[in-house]
Structure 1
Amino acid sequence: MKYRTVFDIIGPVMIGPSSSHTAGAARIGQVARTLFAEEPAKADVHFYGSFAKTYRGHGTDVAVIGGLLGYETNDERIRDAFSQAKNAGLTVQLHEEEALTNHPNTVRIQLRNRGKELELVGISIGGGKIEIIELNRFALRLSGNNPAILVVHQDRYGVIAAVSNLLAKHELNIGHMEVSRKEKGEEALMVMEVDQNVEESLLKELRSLPHITQVSKIHD
């Protein structure tokens, strides 16, 4: 893995003690909150590997909850995240999992509110950097370091081309793109990391395309 600056190694400004166990965990929580697109009422947080063994001592639990509340990695309120969640009406349940995963710093987050659900799996890879490797049972690879567009669509001919053409029309350059589907011809997920922030007008146009069922964005 290549690092661009010394801050990629030591991690971002954050509430300690660990960039991978604290800052990375907070960022995974932030991404889950962003994709849920509203305040969750209930969160189940499943820790695996090293996270499951050390989350209390390293503050991984409060970091994830702080991220779910929308706090930045250096927000002092993270230290009091359990009380902050209670005040916000967010019920949190933590789970220590024994199942083996491909990465030791793995967390699965399930969010719910009024029938709406989201499930996300993220890993903290060091220096505050993360990868989202699963979203609602779709496999993907999303760094969270760049603006991204996520498009849920029916697996039909021409959908990917239509989305790509629309991004080209808005002069957005795609740095990384992948498509995951559950079954041929069924629901699919398109993920595109781009070089510029994404305007709401573009999202509105994407939602109007045939066979598109959901569009969301993540900003760096």
Structure 2
Amino acid sequence: MKYRSAFDIIGPIMIGPSSSHTAGAARIGRIARKLFGRQPKKAEISLYGSFAKTYKGHATDVAIVGGLLDFDTFDERIPQSFTLAKDLGMEVQFKIEESVTDHPNTVKIHLHDEKKELELVGVSIGGGMVEITELNSFKFRLSGESPAILVVHNDQFGVISAVSTELAKQQINISHMEVSRKKKGQMAMMVIEVDEKIDEFVLKKLEALPNITEVIVMVE
């Protein structure tokens, strides 16, 4: 694994006790919140592997809920996240899973309210760094380190080219891109990490392209 700076090795500024089990867990929860776009009414959280075995001692559950409340890893409100979630009307349920996953620090988060539903799988890879590996059954890799665009679209010829061309017109540089589809010719998703923040004008341009059904912007 490549490190960008010494801070990736030392770890993030955080409310402890563990960079992987606490800070990483908070970051996964916060990414889920950002992708959902607002505070959910209900969060169903499944813990796997090491997360499932040590979540109480490392406050993994508290950290994930803090992330879902949009708290950063160093936010002093994280220890009170369960109480704050209840006060804000967010129902939280945890489930301990026994099945084996590819990474020991794995969590699946299912968020929903009256109008929207989202399911996300994330892993904490150490030092507070995370990867999102699945969103609504689409498999990909998203670090959450850079601004990102998730483009849901019909799997048709020219869609990927149209999106990349539009970003080039707006002078937005792509740093990482993946495409995932469930079946040829049906629904697909582009995951595009970029160097610049995406404003509302660019979002509208992308949404107006043929065969695009949804565009989700995530900024860390």
Structures share fold, TM-score greater than 0.5 = yes
Q: Which residue of 2 aligns with 1:98?
A: 98
Q: Secondary structure at the match of 1:61?
A: helix
Q: Which residue of 2 aligns with 1:212?
A: 212
1:165-204 aligned within 5 A:
165-204=165-204
Note the residue ranges of structure 2 that are not aligned, 5 or more in a row.
Answer: none
Partner Cα distance (2:218, 2:4) in 1: 22
Contact 1:10 1:127 in 2 (8 A): yes
Q: Which residue of 2 aligns with 1:28?
A: 28
Note the residue ranges of structure 1 that are not aligned, 5 or more in a row.
Answer: none
Partner Cα distance (1:199, 1:181) in 2: 26
Contact 1:130 1:144 in 2 (8 A): yes
What is the percentage of aligned positions where both structures have the same residue?
A: 62
Contact 1:155 1:185 in 2 (8 A): yes
Partner Cα distance (1:10, 1:18) in 2: 12
Shift of 1:4: 2.2
Partner Cα distance (1:217, 1:151) in 2: 9
Partner Cα distance (2:48, 2:5) in 1: 29
Aligned residues: 220
Map Cα deviations across residues 96-139 of structure 1 (whole Å, 9 max, x no partner): 10000000000000001004110000000011100000000000
Q: Which residue of 1 aligns with 2:163?
A: 163
Contact 1:10 1:19 in 2 (8 A): no
Map Cα deviations across residues 45-104 of structure 1 (whole Å, 9 max, x no partner): 000000000001101001000000000111111001110100110000001100000000
Return structure 1 stretches of 4+ with deviation > 4 angstroms. none
Query: Match of 2:153, as an amino acid?
Result: H
Q: Which residue of 2 aligns with 1:79?
A: 79
Shift of 1:217: 1.1
